Structure 1
Amino acid sequence: MQRDYDYLIIGAGMAADSAARGIRELDPDGSIGIVGEEVDPPVARPSLSKKLWTDPEFTLEKSWLGTDETGAALHTATRIRSVDRAARTATTEDGDVFGYRRLLLATGGHPKQLDLPADDRVVHFRTMEDYRRLRGLSGEGRHVAVVGGGYIGTELAAALVQNDTRVTFVFPQEFVGGSSYPQELAEQLSEEYAAHGVQLRPGTRVTGGSADADGVHLELSDGSTLDVDGVAVGLGIQPAVQLAEDAGLPVEDGVVVDAYGRTEDPDVYAAGDVASWPDPILGRTRVEHVENATDMGTAVGKVMAADATGAQAEPYTHTPSFYSDLFDAGYEAVGTLSADLDLVTDWKVPPGTGETAQGVVYYLEGDRLRGVLLWNVWDSTDAARELLAAERGYTADDLVGAIPTD
């Protein structure tokens, strides 16, 4: 069977949904097909580790993005195995063929895997189906191990412990968030997790494990074992670049595109988590956060429609921010957050005072600003972008007070 579309989108996440909406802004009639591996339609992915756990008024129905508003034909639970750029076709594992005039790779990524049994009680967390499985493993005092001290791991540990779940948090850093935040902030965050009942296992990795009728049994790098009812793994993703690579497109930590989202093939584009693009502030980069998925998806969808209709295309010039909520604290950030960089802190409420910290952290490489963390400081991402965009060096005196800490 072959289906032909003016615009074919491989991947059915937030970038795909936004791209379809971007296409419709310039082309109300062109046919759109969206093909995704996941069994569910496009979902607001941040809700899976945030609001669905912490906001009783945010129901499951509010997570769906409603792709039917664009008139796109949605093909879920469908894996594309190859793209033939000469024939302008994409073929599924079952041998079905999708033809295209313009193709968008919005394939996102796959969760990094631990060497653990393929068991329903081990969840490498990313999708709505993963959320459902983890919900079934949580609550009623069940014991869940959360593995990974990064973005998703910290959110899941906080989410689960607030939902009647015993949580043991296994992470390699000395403190929660230790690879991203100043030590004094990471220490306070660790204390907050412990105060909420999370059992912390810092400086520890999972080295193996087994599963039986009694549960999942993890082997840890310190020689101990951990017996739990379920495991939630949040170690980040590997960008899903295999289709692009097999099709002969340049890949470098993502599918390489220009400022318009175009690959070296003028009929093939990429957007979202999988795309490596020349950000005007950060340089060539790849970002795995919602703002980039939605904004880049929309921008590249417009480019696809402009290229198809002869309209003027506009480049994607927005430098995305990202955010998180962890118990009573929250933050927004732009750029690189690495504790290995030189840090300049500007606290209104310093960590360690017994109150929730509030302030701005600047991340320097030499005298060049690489990232800004706004900890309980809101509506200042544009100010952070302006500082990052300036082609100049900074000293600590230049930065303290540069963004209001209120």
Structure 2
Amino acid sequence: MSNSKSHVVVVGAGQAGAGVAMALRNNGFHGAITLIGDEPHPPYERPPLSKDVLQGRTAVEKTWIQPISVFNEKEIEVRLDIRVTAIDAERRVLTLSDRSQISYDKLVLATGARPRMLTLPGTNNDRIHVLRTIDDALRLSEQMRTAKSIAVVGGGFIGLEVAASARAMSVAVTVLEAAPRLMERSLPESVATFLADVHKENGVAIVTNARLRGFEQSESGVRVLLDADDFLDVDCVVMGVGAIPNTEIAEICGLVVQDGIVVDEYGRTSHPDIYAAGDVTRHFNPLLDRHIRLESWQNAQNQAIAVAKAITGEPEAYAEVAWLWSDQYHLNIQTAGNPGDWNDFVWRGKPEDGKFTVLALADRRIIGAICINNGRDMRYARQMITNRVIVDREKLADPATPLQSLSR
């Protein structure tokens, strides 16, 4: 689709939406492109929000994917601080929150996800935060600059990144996790225990099997009501209990939705003129032969490129090993694969070495990897997962044997 009279509208001006718009131009699409976002900020990257932005070490402008001037140079119309309220898929017309309408030839939904909130009494409190947007990060950062203590509800990646940032700001932190351990859905127990120990060494209190009854206003800020009439008084609370894909507009116009907008490996939805990309999608992954939903920078970036290629008539399946990273204290944590499939592990190195790799195996093949301060291994682990390389377990466990040599 390269007709100069064609119009592609992208709804959602985050990493995926901006990626689609830029990739369309880079792939030679000469038609009109409109990028619509419901935030007032130019498209930006989210990973720095829980780290450098939260700690006040970097300006929000540093998170921008590109300044608006670059979008203008590429003749991409960017409309910010406005929402799409309706899609008429038959007429190919969008209705916006200012009651204006815009027509399209192809539509891309990159509406992302929103933080999940616990449905507990007292959550309507300006000292109870989520962290998803620039504005979220700035509000939380302002309170943390004067806070003495915070509670982080949820012991996943986002919660632990916030905990690490708070400790860097000399704020006392208590992590409240409902599960028996941290990172239950993301890391094997041995690695999660190592990570919990690092947080404890840095002064974080961790409460597992935590049961919350609600929240109340207190003199210091927030009283977190726990089981058995116990409570915790803190200056503010951060919720990190998962995300919900923003599928409402897709459901209204009749697209197939199942914990995300269902798309194929090219980002095509159940309607021939509508595509979707990023956190909002449940996409078919040819490597796994099933649909999955991912919330990661890599997925938003690379699925967007695949969607742009499909729209411009050069389809290339999006088939990648899931990969994400997290920075906490002195640790760079990278994971690849789908943790729900893991139950057999080989360690390369030890935590006391300062860096190590844990590989998940099935039928003598690597299906997952966790690299702690060992990013070099991740490159080859991902190759081996993709290529289904059969490995020698003893050599794999020997850190002196380069993973690169085994990947051949």
TM norm. shorter chain > 0.5: yes
**Aligned-partner Cα distance in 2 for 1:269–1:222:** 49
Give TM-score scaled by structure 1 length: 0.87
Q: Is the 8 A contact 1:19 1:297 kept in 2?
A: yes
Worse overlay, 268-277 or 112-121: 112-121
- TM-score of the superposed pair, with normalisation by structure 2: 0.87
Matched to 1:378, the amino acid is G
Give the CA deviation at 1:262: 1.3
RMSD: 2.8
CA distance in 2 between counterparts of 1:199 and 1:385 reads 34
Is the CA contact (8 Å cut-off) linking 2:366 and 2:388 kept in structure 1?
A: no
Deviates more, 1:31-40 or 1:120-129: 31-40
Counterpart residue identity of residue 209, structure 1: F
Q: How does 1:94-243 map to 2 (within 5 A)?
A: 94-115=98-119, 116-211=122-217, 214-221=220-227, 223-243=229-249
Q: Does 1:82 align with 2:86?
A: yes
After superposition, the Cα gap between the structure-2 partners of 1:374 and 1:73, relative to the gap in structure 1 and judged at 3 Å, is: same
Please report how far the alpha carbon of residue 24 of structure 1 lies from its aligned counterpart in structure 2 after TM superposition: 0.8
Instruction: Kindly indicate whether residue 293 of structure 2 is the aligned counterpart of residue 291 of structure 1.
Output: no
2:336 aligned partner: 334
Moved more, 219-228 or 327-336: 219-228
How big is the shift at 1:197? 1.9
Counterpart secondary structure, 1:371: strand
Which residues of structure 2 form unaligned runs of 5+? none
CA-to-partner distance for each residue in 1:13-65, whole Å, 9 max, x for gaps?
Answer: 10011111101113464222222222322111001012334694x43321112
Match of 2:31 in 1: 30
Partner SS for 1:52? coil
**In structure 2, C-alpha distance between the alignment counterparts of 1:5 and 1:135, rounded to whole Å:** 43
Question: Which stretches in structure 1 are left out of the alignment for 5+ residues?
Answer: none
Q: What does residue 319 of structure 1 align with?
A: 321
Task: Give the whole-Å Cα distance in 2 for the aligned partners of 1:300 and 1:81.
Answer: 23
SS at match of 2:140: helix
Aligned residues: percent identity? 30
Distance 1:332 1:235 in 2: 20
What is aligned with 2:59?
59
Query: 1:347 matched to which residue of 2?
Result: 348
Q: Out of 321-330 and 386-395, give the one that drifted further.
A: 386-395
2:388 and 2:174 map into 1 onto residues whose CA distance is 44
Letter in 2 for 1:114: L
Question: How far apart, in 1, do the equivalents of 2:364 and 2:260 lie?
Answer: 28
The one-character-per-residue Cα deviations of 1:331-387 (angstroms, maximum 9, x if unpaired) are 22211235x841313131x23x4x53x322223467775422122211333422333
Find 2:360's aligned residue among 360, 363, 384: 363
CA distance in 2, matches of 1:250, 1:365: 33
Question: Does the CA-based 8 Å contact 1:194-1:200 persist in structure 2?
Answer: yes
Counterpart check, 1:387 vs 2:384:
yes
Q: Secondary structure at the match of 1:281?
A: coil
Q: How many angstroms apart in 2 are the aligned matches of 1:119 and 1:127?
A: 18
Which among 250, 254, 257 is matched to residue 244 of structure 1? 250
Give the 3 Å change call, closer, same or farther, for CA 141–243 of structure 1 in structure 2: closer
